[in-house]
């Protein structure tokens, strides 16, 4: 669950019968929280008030232990929405990191779907497994975690979506094309413009995908206090780029791209 103090600082804790939450503002026995409805207010020993809610997935993502960097909620939401992750979907994820995106994917596909996550590094896979199982309260029948390289370990076909979060996703374009069903979506998360460029060109050159779409999202909060309405001074800017494309039918060549005619510098 999550406790929020008057300065909007959030604390994620796991309730235990004899547990105590300690802060410099005083202790809060877990027994004061157990059995209370969400949205309750509890007081620490020195009288500081805390709002008590079950944490949202976005809050858990930001507070989870990390082995590798996590995909932040704003990008995870874009992946779920723009890659059209639907209930019952068969999804492959390569580069599980700390398991943040895995939680979003598992929620989106539901009990009837399936997520297979490939991770090269055992230590990252171990951290991700603990984070995912902690959030969902145990093992997930809809999730399979494979320690190994996607190109060497993939054993699935006719999957609906493939999500790549790795240093060199262009190396996995061929494997993704073989695994995706026609109409399926590949979505790639990268950190730099160089990675984005190489990924887009690899998808174009492969010939089995539609024209790639590349974008990023920027999030800016707003301060609203009566008539004092203004954007906050700080914002969540660049975290990563996303590239998506759709798998075409076998043997079909995508139409040639039509470029906008260039202007002329000749004098009239």
Give domain limits for the chain: 2-55, 59-246
Q: In the CATH scheme, what architecture does the domain 2-55 have? A: Roll (3.10)
Per-residue confidence (pLDDT) for residue 170, from 0 to 100: 97
Average pLDDT over the chain, rounded to an integer: 91
Tell me: pLDDT of 267 over 60: no
Residue 241: name the closest of 185, 202, 209, 200 by CA: 200
Query: What pLDDT is attached to residue 252?
Result: 87
Q: What does the DSSP 8-state code read for residue 252? A: P
Q: What is the model's pTM?
A: 0.86
Which fold, 59-246? Rossmann fold (3.40.50)
Q: What are phi and psi of 197, to 5 degrees?
A: -65, -45
Cα separation of 116 and 106, whole Å? 10
* Rounded mean pLDDT, 138-161: 93
Over the stretch 14-42, which tens digit does the pLDDT of each residue have? 889 889 999 888 899 999 999 999 999 99
Instruction: State the average pLDDT over residues 168-192.
Output: 96
């Amino acid at each position: 669950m999550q406790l929020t103090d008057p300065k909007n600082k959030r604390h994620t804790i796991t309730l235990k019968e004899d547990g105590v939450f300690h802060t410099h503002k005083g202790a809060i026995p877990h027994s004061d929280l157990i059995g209370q409805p969400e949205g309750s207010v509890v007081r620490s020993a020195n009288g500081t008030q805390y709002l008590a809610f079950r944490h949202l997935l976005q809050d858990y993502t930001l507070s989870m232990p990390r082995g590798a960097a996590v995909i932040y909620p704003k990008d995870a939401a874009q992946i779920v929405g723009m890659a059209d992750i639907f209930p019952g979907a068969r999804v492959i994820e390569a580069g599980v990191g700390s398991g943040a995106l895995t939680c979003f994917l598992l929620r989106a596909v539901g009990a009837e779907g399936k997520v297979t996550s490939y991770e090269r590094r055992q230590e990252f896979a171990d951290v991700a497994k603990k984070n995912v199982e902690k959030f969902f309260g145990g093992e997930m029948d809809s999730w399979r975690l494979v320690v190994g390289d996607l190109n060497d370990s993939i054993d699935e076909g006719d999957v609906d979506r493939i999500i790549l979060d790795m240093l060199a996703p262009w190396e996995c374009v061929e494997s993704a094309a073989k695994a995706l069903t026609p109409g399926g979506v590949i979505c790639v998360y990268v950190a730099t413009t160089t990675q984005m460029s190489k990924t887009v060109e690899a998808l174009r050159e492969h010939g089995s995908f539609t024209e790639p779409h590349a974008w990023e999202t920027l999030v800016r909060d707003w301060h609203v206090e009566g008539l004092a309405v203004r954007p906050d001074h700080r914002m969540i800017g660049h975290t990563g780029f996303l590239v998506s494309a759709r798998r075409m039918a076998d043997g079909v060549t995508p139409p040639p791209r039509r470029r906008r005619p260039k202007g002329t510098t000749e004098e009239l």
